[in-house]
Amino acid sequence: MKKCLILTAAVLFATGVFAQNTPELNPASENGHTHHYPAFGFVDPFAAFARPGQNPTYHGGNVIRNARVVLIFWGPSFASGGSDAGYAAAVQSFRNQYGTNPEYNVITQYYGSDPISGYGNIAQSNLATGTADWFDTSTPPKNVTDSTVQSEVLRYLSSHTFDNNTVYEVFIPSASYSSDGTATSCGGPHLTYCAYHGSFSNGGRDIKYAIEPYPSCSGCQASGFSTVQNVEHFICHETREAVTDPDLNAWYDRSGNELDDKCAWSPAPFIVNGFGYQYEWSNSAGGCVKSQ
């Protein structure tokens, strides 16, 4: 009987039955509403098995056609005069140019439904045109759980207007780490991922968010990158995935890989004009590309 069950499971994996990414369960998370970027060299047990040659397809979910990104810097070190003030300013500079540059342009080949602008292709956009960034000078807990990240986003929205096209990205200092179930980021007891994106419902709002932990460990550092370039690399990844698969039901392949997953860490992340990026999967090119 045991041998039969093992063989049955193997058949199900081979045929893709266990590998489907659905709105109810994303293979890259324990809770079904987040999608991890695994640390370098780490096999996330909830991540999909990569199939580099397989084009992702559209599954009917919403995309963000004209995106914005709000940056939430949580911790006194990010404030003016703080030890991470330069880090925060560099992150803002990256965001300000990212949505209109060639690395973001790769995803304009993808399309879908958008509750605001209807059906069509994703467009380049100035990601900085949303509501103001926020410097929350309170001290975050050492262990920033997923529910804590959501609460921080809701604190921001208590004094700022919600926008359906915005991805709310939370940054935490090196003294804190992110946890999502049993998995953690740099600084945590179970290094699994470097960042993640997801969505949650609140008061009828579909809130898109990401957590960008401090890249303080070797598993979240690319060769030759500065600390800021490492986090830019993860912003590049999480923002494009949050735009093309905000609710985990739009663009992914049969294994559940989102577009940036298919090129994560290999080919190696790269630097353009001082900013850190990673390759992106292009259906039109049938592979990982730097820009388009």
**Segment 220-269, tens digit of pLDDT:** 999 999 999 999 999 999 999 999 999 999 999 988 899 999 999 999 99
Q: List all residues 6 or more positions away from 272 whose beta carbon is below 8 Å from its beta carbon.
A: 103, 290, 291
Does 74 score more than 80 pLDDT?
A: yes
CA torsion angle for 219, 146, 257, 173 (degrees, to 10)?
A: -30
Are 70 and 171 spatial neighbours (Cβ–Cβ below 8 Å)?
A: no
Q: What is the mean pLDDT of residues 17-44?
A: 61
Cβ-based neighbour number of residue 55 at 10 Å: 16
Q: What is the mean pLDDT of residues 192-204?
A: 97
- The tokens describing 94, both together, are 């990256």
Predicted confidence at residue 52, as pLDDT, reads: 58
Are 100 and 124 spatial neighbours (Cβ–Cβ below 8 Å)?
A: yes
Looking at per-residue confidence, does 278 or 7 come out higher? Answer: 278
Looking at per-residue confidence, does 273 or 42 come out higher? Answer: 273
Are 260 and 77 spatial neighbours (Cβ–Cβ below 8 Å)?
A: no
Predicted confidence at residue 32, as pLDDT, reads: 72
Domain limits of the chain?
Answer: 2-289
Q: List all residues 6 or more positions away from 284 whose beta carbon is below 8 Å from its beta carbon.
A: 109, 292
Confidence of residue 6 (pLDDT cuts 50, 70, 90): very low
At 12, give phi and psi (nearest 5°): -65, -40
Predicted confidence at residue 54, as pLDDT, reads: 86
Does 8 score more than 70 pLDDT?
A: no
Does 7 score more than 50 pLDDT?
A: no
Does 149 score more than 80 pLDDT?
A: yes
Distances 252 to 23, 126, 148 between C-alpha atoms, Å: 11, 25, 27
Predicted confidence at residue 3, as pLDDT, reads: 37
Looking at per-residue confidence, does 75 or 4 come out higher? Answer: 75
3-state secondary structure of 261: helix
